[in-house]
Chain A
Amino acid sequence: MFEAILLTVITASTPLVIAALGELVTERAGVLNLGVEGMMIMGAVCAFAATQMTGSPYIGILAGILGGGAFSLLFGFLTLTLVANQVATGLALTILGLGLSGQLGEAFVGQPGIKLQPIVFPLLSDIPFFGRVLFRQDLTFYLSMALVIGINWFLFKSRAGLKMRAIGDNHASAHALGINVIRTRYLAVMFGGACAGLAGAQLSLVYTPQWVENMSAGRGWIALALVVFASWRPWRVLAGGYLFGAVTIGQLHAQAFGIGIPSQFLSALPYAATIVVLIIISHNRRTTLINTPASLGKPFVPDR
């Protein structure tokens, strides 16, 4: 029983973790992309469409990553090249993504999807409990774990990561040091888009293998909150993602047991939890200031 619940928690948490990690990298470079929800839903529809057309969910995963990444370029062009307002452009990306995915996905509504199958590690998966939980998962789970470790290494142990953090904290100084601010930010935005796309692909290929309009249901926004919650640190994103996954699954089980609380109130729990968590994490102005990338959301025009 516990094991079964844990497995569903993992499935619910993985897309949050992946999308939040992508946004974390984008924000570490000083760019605030509020379009996670839009990129996620585009990833979901691209992944589902590609899977239905080719029969292979792995091509679907790839399509999701490419779809999210390509869609984020639109945001990159507006905010980095044309220095448009990042908040407004992010909102535009979400609105356009929700509309466009509805349009693209119309032909696929109601079709039974193909589920991404778990990859079973021989021997390791035979370990009692841990084997079944950790080594009989699908590709997206392994990718989420690899991303946590990889991003942590990149940001805090690699030269390129140091440069990226420098850009996020002070783009004018970084520019003066000869770091290419705009190029790095383009890469960071695309990485965020690709991650959001992968998270979307997980939704339409693993979590509920079908296409439903608006199926991301605010997860992109929760991922954004997770980045704040995690104070821009990859391991804390992992912890926060699983906390939210647990709340989501917990309320589903509570609904199933029928504990007398209306289902709508339970469905509202993950959103309410987001608010509570934001309060707890932001109430100390000083620590928030220290943790936030200092040039987050500020426009940058290179002088020459």
Chain B
Amino acid sequence: MHIELEKRARVSTLFSIFSPLLALALTLVFGVVMFWLLGKSPLGALYSFFIEPLLEVWSLHELAVKAAPLILIAVGLAICYRSNNWNIGAEGQFTIGAITGSILPVMNPEWHSPMILPLMLLMGMAGGALYAAIPALLKTRFNTNEILTSLMLVYIAQLYLDWLTRGPWRDPQGYNFPQTKSFQIEAVLPEVLSSGRAHWGFIFALVAAVALWFMMRFMLKGFQVSVLGQSERAGRFAGFSARRMVWFSMLLSGALAGLAGISEVSGSIGHLQPSISPGYGFTAIIVAFLGRLNPLGIVASGLVLALTYLGGEAAQLSIGISDKVSRVFQGLLLFFVLSCDTLIHYKIRLVVAGAKAAEVRS
């Protein structure tokens, strides 16, 4: 018995919509089995993992705090992946954006001007974009694989942040904690509502998602992205430049990751420290695929993945499950998303060996 694929005459609209939901359902089934193996009541565990965080106002705010960087990074990555540019170093661009965005408050802690925040955000975006420009330059100029270079730059960015916060930028009055001085109030990204912690980063994420959805749907640039991604040759015939697309997609995703970085530091943490991200840049890859590389879909999938972070923390407290479980959930989810996507383009058939032989004989 084996599996055979038959190409569909046209892309299945039904499965384009249902494949992410199917993937979520399969992940939940696996979750039940996993909790059962860990000796926990599966339903109780799923409840505290996925339902409990949605019941209180403060945790809904936390959801927005966690979803903001995921969505911001993932919509940028979606443009990259659609155009066949594999930027997987968003974690590094996030880190560098956080660093360049923090230059002003760290260097001028006494500067109390309303100008500081917009400047910080701009500098964060510029930093992220510049850091993404490295793999873009290497790809266009030296033909270097952007997957490997952007990933290597993640490690370098993290080590650089580590050095800054333990070395030159460390707060001398910080009781030897490796962190910078807390940002002045003008440099803190404000909360959206007075009821909780959700900051403007979440609004930025929604704006970016809608803007990029508009671009992909209604603008020539969006069309270029899809054509060059599906066939570089076809794009060349249409007069589109693949080289320029490398720059466009990398700089865009870098800038958005940088904005996510400075928003997280300014809106949620309030200072720089050696570790500023629980792997947002990598989880955003899952978010992008779960959202089927569609900016609006990514808003939904970003919220789902943010829930796995929150659920992980909640489940650790309430039922004593390790927070590593959420990483396993995230990995499984991506696997199921990718396998369910096969259904969009192919019909899947189970073929029994005997039947095949009979077919050949007749």
- A and B interact: yes
Interface residues of A (CB under 8 A from B): 34, 74, 78, 81-85, 87-89, 91-92, 95-100, 102-103, 106, 218, 221, 224-225, 228, 262, 264-265, 267-268, 271-272, 274-275, 278-279, 282-285, 288, 301
Nearest 5 interchain pairs by C-beta: A96-B331, A99-B327, A264-B163, A92-B334, A102-B324
Judge whether A99 and B346 touch: CB under 8 Å: no
Additional A-B contact list (17), CB under 8 Å, known A34-B147, A284-B143: A81-B3, A82-B342, A82-B348, A83-B342, A87-B147, A95-B283, A95-B327, A100-B327, A100-B328, A106-B322, A271-B153, A272-B156, A274-B148, A275-B152, A275-B153, A283-B144, A301-B346
State how many angstroms separate the Cβ of B276 from the closest Cβ of chain A: 15
Judge whether B155 and A95 touch: CB under 8 Å: no
- Indicate whether A221 sits within 8 Å of B339 (C-beta atoms), given known contacts A91-B285, A275-B153: no
CB nearest neighbor in B for A107? B322
Task: Tell me if B126 counts as interface (CB < 8 A to partner A).
Answer: no
State how many angstroms separate the Cβ of A267 from the closest Cβ of chain B: 6
Chain A residues lying within 8 Å of B314, measured Cβ to Cβ, are none
Judge whether B330 and A95 touch: CB under 8 Å: yes
Please name 18 pairs of A and B residues whose Cβ atoms are closer than 8 Å in the assembled complex, sorted by A.
A81-B3, A82-B3, A82-B338, A82-B339, A84-B338, A84-B339, A84-B341, A85-B338, A95-B282, A96-B332, A218-B151, A218-B152, A268-B160, A275-B148, A278-B148, A279-B144, A282-B143, A301-B5
Judge whether B338 and A228 touch: CB under 8 Å: no
Judge whether B328 and A78 touch: CB under 8 Å: no
Most chain B CB within 10 A, of A82, A283, A301, is at: A82
Judge whether A96 and B335 touch: CB under 8 Å: yes
Chain B residues lying within 8 Å of A89, measured Cβ to Cβ, are 335, 338
Chain B residues lying within 8 Å of A74, measured Cβ to Cβ, are 335
CB nearest neighbor in B for A227? B148
Docked complex Cα distance between A78 and B285 (Å): 17
Docked complex Cα distance between A103 and B88 (Å): 24
Chain A residues lying within 8 Å of B86, measured Cβ to Cβ, are 87
- Indicate whether A106 sits within 8 Å of B324 (C-beta atoms), given known contacts A95-B331, A282-B144: yes
Docked complex Cα distance between A92 and B288 (Å): 12
Judge whether A83 and B346 touch: CB under 8 Å: yes
Judge whether B330 and A282 touch: CB under 8 Å: no
Judge whether B159 and A267 touch: CB under 8 Å: yes
Docked complex Cα distance between A27 and B89 (Å): 22
Judge whether B335 and A275 touch: CB under 8 Å: no
State how many angstroms separate the Cβ of B300 from the closest Cβ of chain A: 19
- Indicate whether A92 sits within 8 Å of B335 (C-beta atoms), given known contacts A225-B148, A275-B153: yes
Docked complex Cα distance between A283 and B137 (Å): 12
Interface size class of B (residues with CB under 8 A): 35 or more
State how many angstroms separate the Cβ of B136 from the closest Cβ of chain A: 13
Docked complex Cα distance between A279 and B135 (Å): 10
Docked complex Cα distance between A202 and B104 (Å): 46
Task: Tell me if B286 counts as interface (CB < 8 A to partner A).
Answer: yes
Candidates B3, B7, B151, B338; contact of A221 at CB < 8 Å = B151
Task: Tell me if B59 counts as interface (CB < 8 A to partner A).
Answer: no
Judge whether B88 and A91 touch: CB under 8 Å: yes
State how many angstroms separate the Cβ of B38 from the closest Cβ of chain A: 9
Most chain B CB within 10 A, of A92, A100, A272, is at: A92
Docked complex Cα distance between A85 and B334 (Å): 12
Chain B residues lying within 8 Å of A268, measured Cβ to Cβ, are 155-156, 159-160
Judge whether A103 and B324 touch: CB under 8 Å: yes
Chain A residues lying within 8 Å of B162, measured Cβ to Cβ, are 264
Chain A residues lying within 8 Å of B325, measured Cβ to Cβ, are 103
Task: Tell me if B167 counts as interface (CB < 8 A to partner A).
Answer: yes
Judge whether A264 and B331 touch: CB under 8 Å: no
Docked complex Cα distance between A110 and B286 (Å): 31
Chain A residues lying within 8 Å of B152, measured Cβ to Cβ, are 218, 221, 225, 271-272, 274-275
Task: Tell me if B149 counts as interface (CB < 8 A to partner A).
Answer: yes
Chain A residues lying within 8 Å of B332, measured Cβ to Cβ, are 96
CB nearest neighbor in B for A102? B324
Docked complex Cα distance between A301 and B341 (Å): 15
Task: Tell me if B142 counts as interface (CB < 8 A to partner A).
Answer: yes
**Residues of chain B in range 126-146 having any CB-CB distance to chain A below 8 Å:** 138, 142-145
Docked complex Cα distance between A176 and B144 (Å): 33
Docked complex Cα distance between A88 and B341 (Å): 12
State how many angstroms separate the Cβ of A95 from the closest Cβ of chain B: 4
Judge whether B331 and A97 touch: CB under 8 Å: yes
Chain B residues lying within 8 Å of A82, measured Cβ to Cβ, are 3, 5, 338-339, 342, 348
- Indicate whether A278 sits within 8 Å of B149 (C-beta atoms), given known contacts A78-B338, A264-B159: yes
Chain B residues lying within 8 Å of A88, measured Cβ to Cβ, are 81, 285, 289, 334, 338
Docked complex Cα distance between A20 and B348 (Å): 34
State how many angstroms separate the Cβ of A289 from the closest Cβ of chain B: 9
Q: Mark B168-182, 1 if CB is under 8 A from A, else 0.
A: 000000000000000
Most chain A CB within 10 A, of B3, B156, B322, is at: B156
State how many angstroms separate the Cβ of A102 from the closest Cβ of chain B: 4
Chain A residues lying within 8 Å of B346, measured Cβ to Cβ, are 83, 301
CB nearest neighbor in B for A267? B159
Chain A residues lying within 8 Å of B289, measured Cβ to Cβ, are 88
Candidates B138, B148, B156, B328; contact of A96 at CB < 8 Å = B328
Docked complex Cα distance between A265 and B163 (Å): 8
Docked complex Cα distance between A204 and B283 (Å): 26
Chain B residues lying within 8 Å of A81, measured Cβ to Cβ, are 3
